[in-house]
Copies of this chain bind each other. A is one copy, B any other.
Amino acid sequence: MAGVGRDGSQAQFRELAANLREAIVSGAFAHDGRLPSEASLAEEHGVSRGTVRQAMALLRANGLVTSRRGTRRVVLGAARTQSFFELLSFTHWARSIGDEPGGRTVDVQHRQALPAEYEQLQLEPDSSVYRVLRVRTLSRVPVMLERTVYPESIGRLIAEQPRDAVSHTGPLTDAGIVFADVTHTIDLCPADADDALLLSCSEAAPLLRERRRATDPTGRPLLSSDDRFLPGIVSFTVHNSAQQTALSRRRA
């Protein structure tokens, strides 16, 4: 994990950010909605101003505070941003909202990659990939269909998992696979015949689609996935400040 030492200690600025987040959520600055100055926070926590600013950058990116020259930072709200893993993994997400995640593997294929697949995974055209189709449940109710494509080396580990394994990211991280970056693309798509059958909806019913592409710290693609949610199960929230943009809107 980033910023974590061998002993498991967090970087100072992460710890400071976590403390401030907790203080904000608990309403510690509710009287005027303003944070203490950087200088006073630095002194109070025994760190330099640079460290305070790193912590603030995290809070800003997460939409908790805004800032401008000349005045103290202002609390925007107690936006509940999730960890990297709660976004990457259905299992982590379900647990974070206090629900019970489930998974059932419907199909595993080990085939030569299609053009779209070897391009997404940056493989040679004749590479083979694993395709895994899973039904994901919340409280035993099917809510999402997950079609994931893995490169050979990763897929081999997945194929070993039992069909009722809840998490697939878990075994991967246990095997030393490190997820570093993910790109999520969100749109709407109609259910195809398989979707309809496995999610118990009618064909052409609208689904919320989240396509994910994950890479490891070296930039190597680890997986490419097409996840389709029944309506009313999830929504996605993004914070976006004039300082920094990470979301983009594309013509579909």
Contacts and interface: CB of A to CB of B under 8 A. Distances in A.
Contacts of A239: 181-184, 246
Given A245-B87, A246-B239, A247-B236, A208 B188 contact: yes
**Chain A interface residue bracket vs B:** 35 or more
Copies of this chain held together in the complex: 2
A248 B234 contact: no
Instruction: Give the interface SS of chain A, mostly helix, strand, loop or mixed.
Output: mixed
Interface string A131-151: 000000000000000000000
A116 interface: no
Contact of A240 (B84, B99, B207, B244): B84
Interface string A64-94: 0011100100111001111110111000010
Given A76-B219, A82-B249, A215-B66, A235 B187 contact: yes
Interface of A: 1-3, 33, 57-58, 61-63, 66-68, 71, 74-76, 79-84, 86-88, 93, 97, 99, 179-190, 206-208, 215, 217-219, 231-252
8 contacts: A66-B215, A66-B217, A81-B245, A86-B248, A184-B240, A185-B237, A206-B206, A240-B246
